[in-house]
Structures are given as structure tokens and as C-alpha cells.
A and B are shown apart, each in its own frame.
Chain A
């Protein structure tokens, strides 16, 4: 059974810092990996999708990498802003359940002014 772990569970940084969120998974036979953002009481917003054949994806100040063989992904956020404060979720899709996602418990990020 796929298990997804995110470290750290919570992170507080001052505005302007670059930061890295970590995600690891136990079964490397994934189909793809997605990073999401969740604001309190809201649904999930997709940030980046990395297919299993890819090594990284970039969108604005966000960069996500994937090392499938070692079961790891990182989300890099450059020049953090208070508006980046949210919970960040990593999820991997395996093809054995209709490509359903297995989620980590998330990293709660607070960026202080």
C-alpha cells in the first residue's frame, strides 16, 4: 500500500525566504505526482503535476522535482510571500485504483511579514 510522508509538518518563515517542502513515497511505481495548496476550509488547488517520466515542473515561483527511484519529491518556493501561507499537500497516483491519489498529511506553511 502506497504511503506518502511530508516533512516538515509545519513551517514558519519570514517573508522573502526561499523554502523547500519534502515529500516521500514508499512505492516508486507511480503514474504521476501532484502538489496542491489548501487554504483553511477550502478545496484543493492544483499547483504542479509531474508525470512519472518527468523530473521537474515549474510554475512562476514554484518548482517541483521528482526522483521516482528514490521515492522523493520536493516543492521549492522562491521569495516567499504572506499570501503563500496555506497547507501544501503532496499526492501520488498509482494505476491500481483508477489513478486515485494517495495523499500525505501536508505541510502547514506560515509566511510572516
Chain B
């Protein structure tokens, strides 16, 4: 069966510090991968998606970036965090053109 992991589960970082969130998927190959953010009082917002290794598409201009160094690994990064980057970050995988499954999320607080 397929599983999706995210770490860390929670993170508290000062403004201006770097960020690296990791997402890995087991039990499938060549999935579509997604990063979403859920901010307080707002719906889930798509940040990045990837249809293959090294292929990243960004939906929202921001100080975040994403990379996919391996088939089942998706990383969300920032060089300098802003207060507005606080939120709940969710990674999802999808069998091609099918149902999406979400990870447990990372709660990021920027102080």
C-alpha cells in the first residue's frame, strides 16, 4: 500500500531564517506531487506541483521554492521566511489523473 510522510510535524522559526520541509511517498512510482498551504481562516492554496523529477510548476509568486530531486521526494524551501509564511503545509500525491492523498502536514509558525 502507499504511504506519504512529511517532516517535521511542527516547526517554529524566526523571521528571516531558512526553511526546508520534506515529503516522501512510498509504494508508488512516478506520482504527481503537490504542496498546499492552509492558512488560518483561509482555504487550501496550491503552491507547487510536479509531474516528474526536476519538473516543478509554481502557482503563486512568493519567497518559497520547491524541488523534486528523486521520484518520490518533494521538498519545499525558503531562503528567508516571512511572518506570512506561517500556516499548515500539506503534501499530496496522486496516481496519474486520479485521486489525491494527503500527508499528515507540517505546522509552521514564523515568529
Contact = CB atoms under 8 A, between A and B. Distances in A.
A43 B36 CA distance: 11
Interface residues of B, number: 25
Contacts of A101: 34, 36, 44, 46, 92, 100
Interface string A26-62: 0000011010100001111110010000000000000
Interface in A74-113: 89, 91, 93, 97-106
Contact of A99 (B43, B94, B107): B94
Contacts, number: 61
A76 to B, nearest CB: 20
Given A42-B105, A97-B59, A98-B57, A103 B100 contact: no
Interface in B39-67: 42-44, 46, 49-51, 57, 59
A99 B31 CA distance: 12
B44 A100 contact: no
A46 B57 contact: no
Q: What secondary structure prevails in chain A residues at the interface with B?
A: strand
Given A34-B99, A43-B90, A46-B99, A97 B57 contact: yes
A106 B32 CA distance: 24
Contacts of B90: 43-44
Interface of A: 4, 31-32, 34, 36, 41-46, 49, 89, 91, 93, 97-106
Interface of B: 32, 34, 36, 42-44, 46, 49-51, 57, 59, 90, 92, 94, 97-105, 107
